Amino acid sequence: MSVRPVPRSAVERIDPWRLRIRAFDPSMRSEGRIYASEGLWPAIRDDGSLSQVVDVAGLPGIVGPSIAMPDAHQGYGFPIGGVAATSERDGVVSPGGVGFDINCGVRLLSSGLSAPEVRARLDPLLAAVARRVPVGFDAARDRSVSGHAMDDLLAQGAAWAVRAGWGRAEDLDRIEDRGTFSTADPAMVSARARERGRDQVGTLGSGNHFVEVQAVEAVDDPDAARAMGLVEGGVAVLLHTGSRGLGHQVCTDQLVLMQQAMRRYGIRVADRQLACAPVASEEGRAYLGAMGAAANYAWANRQVLTHLIGEAFLEVFGPLADLSVVYDVAHNIARIERHRVDGRPVPLCVHRKGATRAFPAGHPDLPIGVRALGQPVFIPGSMGTASWVLLGTERALDETWGSVCHGAGRTLSRTAARRGRSAADVLADLAARGVTVHAGSRKGLSEEAPESYKDVDLVVGTVVGAGLALPVARLVPMGVIKG
DNA sequence: ATGTAC
């Protein structure tokens, strides 16, 4: 783990939203850049993520700065809330730049219902969702996927789910990469990973994963909101989950292979958690193939969950409910993308770890359902607090390879959070704020207490202030299902 | 994040 001290003199504030870490050490191949307002800076300055930004700046073939978003906190090798691009030709790819929960991401659904209508039947609705969606350690044995079906799922992602009867074909027009990571290679996914994934398709998991029923509290951009099916006083559903045990096992498997590759290629990095291999090497391609297959698992998972949530709404509200996919973003992923470097388009391996792609309107990589609008970005707050809908900008494309933050960001570790608050206490607080919680475990409630996170409004204020995203709407929770 | 530890 990184313990490198970062001298105060190496850090300078550029403007109210940006700081720069100059290359103060010969190991740094580029600068660091941190997006943080005055108020958010101390949490990053005093956290292990600061030295991780410096470590990542030393990765072979890094192009542009090592970036930390305002929700940054310490992760495995890379900070969570980190963005780094490497040259496809002579740079490396690092599993630590994606994280263990490959294609952890969020999907927003519009409902066509109003907040008073939903509030009147919130308990039966949450019960109907909870009956269909396994949480925590619960599996989905009735949906067991193995053998050739698993190969298809790993190759096709959300498209597999639609073909299997989960949701609508038009949903695919509103998912990053249309829900299919095109260079996925199921052959790179181990038997153990497949076994772990077999009974977890259409399950939520635990930790910060959730299904949240939200009211649209305020709209900043009515036209963009309307194009997303969001109106003030309306109801949306935010779904946050990833690739479950399968993605975790893929990351574990690939880290072992990367450690061997490092020795073979003679690559040296500041921290063994930054294990990596050349993007263009056999090992680099194997990682991206396995990671892509796990990404597809996550997209299939969110697609199946969408269908299950839709069934619950239908049971409670009948044909009044019209659940539609607004968009689905991956916030833990690495991908080869073409970006302008010194005026020329160059293929880069963009690592986004706890960071959301935020491409502007008209970008050719956006699926047709949102291309004219620009990429919707969803920033969940902590449990019981607000979430934001944003749009990507040209400035983000220029400065951060088209990326912004992914959430509020932890300020307390899970263990510290557990010491801080009892589950009953957290539950009572949320009830007092008018938020109903169905929780799978007491431990999860303590870990996810809002005090363990930064203020999401300040985090969003920084990326909006910096011009990386445009605000569209602020959503507040009514009911939440936690793992 | 994770059959929360090979």
**Measured distance CA(A6)–CA(A206) in Å, rounded:** 34
| Helix, strand, coil abundance in chain A, percent, nearest 5 | 40, 25, 35
Strands of A88-200, DSSP E:
92-93, 105-114
Q: Residue A292: inside a domain, yes or no?
A: yes
Q: Residue A436: inside a domain, yes or no?
A: no
**Measured distance CA(A461)–CA(A17) in Å, rounded:** 9
Mean pLDDT of chain A: 96
Please spell the DSSP secondary structure of A45-77, one letter per residue: HTSTHHHHHHHHTTSTTEEEEEEEEEEEE--SS
Contact A83, A64 (CB under 8 A): no
**Measured distance CA(A371)–CA(A178) in Å, rounded:** 12
Contact A154, A103 (CB under 8 A): no
Closest nt by CA–C1' to A414:
B4
Q: A456-482: per-residue pLDDT in tens?
A: 999 999 999 999 999 999 999 999 999
Write phi, then psi, for A104 (nearest 5 degrees): -60, 140
Contact A85, A334 (CB under 8 A): no
What was the pLDDT predicted at A420?
83
Q: Residue A448: inside a domain, yes or no?
A: no
Q: Residue A418: inside a domain, yes or no?
A: no
A334-CA/B6-C1' distance, Å? 29
What was the pLDDT predicted at A180?
98
In the three-class reduction of DSSP (H, G, I as helix; E, B as strand; rest coil), residue A214 is classed as strand
**Measured distance CA(A115)–CA(A218) in Å, rounded:** 13
pLDDT at position A339 over 90: yes
Give alpha helix (H) positions in A378-455.
394-400, 414-420, 423-432, 442-447
β-bridge mates for residue A105, sequence order = A241, A330
Quote the pTM value.
0.98
**Measured distance CA(A340)–CA(A347) in Å, rounded:** 9
A252-CA/B5-C1' distance, Å? 14
Token pair of A359 as six digits: 């491409």
What was the pLDDT predicted at A273?
97
Residue with smallest Cα–C1' gap to B1 = A101
pLDDT at position A54 over 80: yes
Q: Residue A351: inside a domain, yes or no?
A: yes
pLDDT at position A429 over 80: yes
Q: A373-417: per-residue pLDDT in tens?
A: 999 999 999 988 999 999 999 999 999 999 999 999 999 988 888
A219-CA/B5-C1' distance, Å? 47
Q: Residue A432: inside a domain, yes or no?
A: no
Q: Which amino acid is at A33?
A: R
Once rounded to an integer, what is the mean pLDDT over residues A167-190?
97
Closest nt by CA–C1' to A80:
B1
Percent of chain A with pLDDT over 90: 94
A362: exposed, middle or buried (Cβ count in 10 Å: 0-12, 13-18, 19+): exposed
Give alpha helix (H) positions in A84-184.
115-120, 122-132, 147-156, 158-163
Domain total for chain A? 1
Which residue range(s) make up the domain with A476? Answer: 8-411+453-482
**Measured distance CA(A97)–CA(A84) in Å, rounded:** 8
A17-CA/B5-C1' distance, Å? 41
Q: Residue A275: inside a domain, yes or no?
A: yes
| A232 closest CA partner among A384, A114, A109, A379 | A114
Work out the pLDDT band at A4, boundaries 50, 70, 90. Answer: confident
**Measured distance CA(A88)–CA(A265) in Å, rounded:** 16
**Annotation marks residue A209 as catalytic:** no
pLDDT at position A263 over 80: yes
Contact A402, A97 (CB under 8 A): no
Catalytic residue among A240, A248, A331, A406: A406
pLDDT at position A1 over 90: no
A368-CA/B4-C1' distance, Å? 40
Q: CATH number for the domain including A41?
A: 3.90.1860.10
**Measured distance CA(A461)–CA(A481) in Å, rounded:** 27
Token pair of A335 as six digits: 């991908």
Contact A453, A409 (CB under 8 A): yes
A280-CA/B2-C1' distance, Å? 29
A94 CA to centre of own chain: 17
**Measured distance CA(A264)–CA(A276) in Å, rounded:** 11
The residues of the protein lying within 7 Å (CB) of strand B read: A 100-101, 104, 137, 192, 195-196, 200, 205-209, 241-242, 244-245, 248-249, 414, 441, 443, 483
Q: Residue A446: inside a domain, yes or no?
A: no
Once rounded to an integer, what is the mean pLDDT over residues A217-234?
98
In strand B, which positions have an atom below 7 A from any protein CB?
Answer: 1-4
A428: exposed, middle or buried (Cβ count in 10 Å: 0-12, 13-18, 19+): exposed
Q: A23-40: per-residue pLDDT in tens?
A: 999 999 999 999 999 999
Residue A256: CB atoms within 10 A of its CB come to: 10
